[in-house]
Amino acid sequence: MVELFYAIVALMLTVYVVLDGFDFGAGALHLIVAKTDAERRQVLAAIGPYWDGNEVWLLASGGALLVAFPKALAAGLSGFYLAIFLLLWMLIVRGISIELRSHVEAPLWRAFWDAAFSAASALLAILFGAALGNILRGVPLDADGWFSLALFTDFSARPPVGILDAYTVLVAVFSLVALTAHGAAFLCWKTDGPVHARARTAGTVLFFVVAGMWPVVTWATHAVHPEFFSGFASRSLAWLAAAVAVAGLSTACTSIVRGREFASFLGSCAFLSGLLGATAAGLFPVLLRSVSDPSASLTAFAASNDVVGLRTALSWLAIGLPLAVVYGVVLLRIHRGKVVAAAGRDGY
| pLDDT by 10s per residue, the chain, length 348 | 888 999 999 999 999 999 999 999 999 999 999 999 888 989 998 998 888 888 889 988 988 898 899 888 888 888 888 888 889 999 999 999 988 888 888 889 999 999 999 999 999 999 999 999 999 998 888 877 788 887 777 787 777 888 888 999 999 999 999 999 999 999 999 998 899 999 999 999 999 999 999 999 999 999 998 888 877 777 888 899 999 999 999 999 999 999 899 999 999 999 999 999 999 998 898 898 888 777 778 888 888 888 888 888 888 888 888 888 888 888 888 888 787 766 655 566
Identify the pLDDT of residue 173: 97
Model pTM score: 0.93
**Domains of the chain: total:** 1
Return the ∠ at Cα 74 (arms to 71 and 77), rounded to 5°: 145
Nearest in space to 140 (alpha carbons), one of 119, 162, 120: 162
Identify the pLDDT of residue 135: 92
Identify the pLDDT of residue 310: 87
3-state class (DSSP) for residue 152: strand
pLDDT one-digit tens code per residue, 187-212: 999 998 899 999 999 999 999 999 99
Flag whether 168 is in a domain. Answer: yes
Flag whether 326 is in a domain. Answer: yes
Flag whether 131 is in a domain. Answer: yes
Residue 132 and residue 178 in contact, taking contact as beta carbons nearer than 8 Å: no
Q: How many alpha carbons fall within 13 Å on the CB side of residue 144?
A: 4
Identify the pLDDT of residue 344: 59
Alpha-carbon gap, residue 65 to 283, rounded angstroms: 16
Nearest in space to 194 (alpha carbons), one of 43, 47, 39: 39
First-last CA distance in the chain: 44
Alpha-carbon gap, residue 300 to 51, rounded angstroms: 31
Flag whether 286 is in a domain. Answer: yes
Q: Which 8-state DSSP code applies to residue 225?
A: -
Flag whether 193 is in a domain. Answer: yes
Contacts of the segment 308-317: beta carbons below 8 A, 24+ positions apart: 309/67, 310/1, 310/2, 310/5, 310/67, 310/68, 311/1, 312/67, 313/5, 313/64, 313/67, 313/68, 314/1, 314/4, 314/5, 317/8, 317/64
Give the structural domain span for 34: 2-334
Residue 310 and residue 68 in contact, taking contact as beta carbons nearer than 8 Å: yes
CA 156 to chain centre: 25
Alpha-carbon gap, residue 325 to 328, rounded angstroms: 5
What are the two backbone dihedrals, phi and then psi, of residue 163, each rounded to the nearest 5 degrees? -60, -40
Q: Give every CB contact of residue 64 below 8 A, 6+ residues apart in sequence.
A: 5, 8, 9, 12, 313, 317
Flag whether 339 is in a domain. Answer: no
Residue 196 and residue 265 in contact, taking contact as beta carbons nearer than 8 Å: no
Flag whether 343 is in a domain. Answer: no
pLDDT one-digit tens code per residue, 49-74: 888 888 889 988 988 898 899 888 88
Flag whether 341 is in a domain. Answer: no
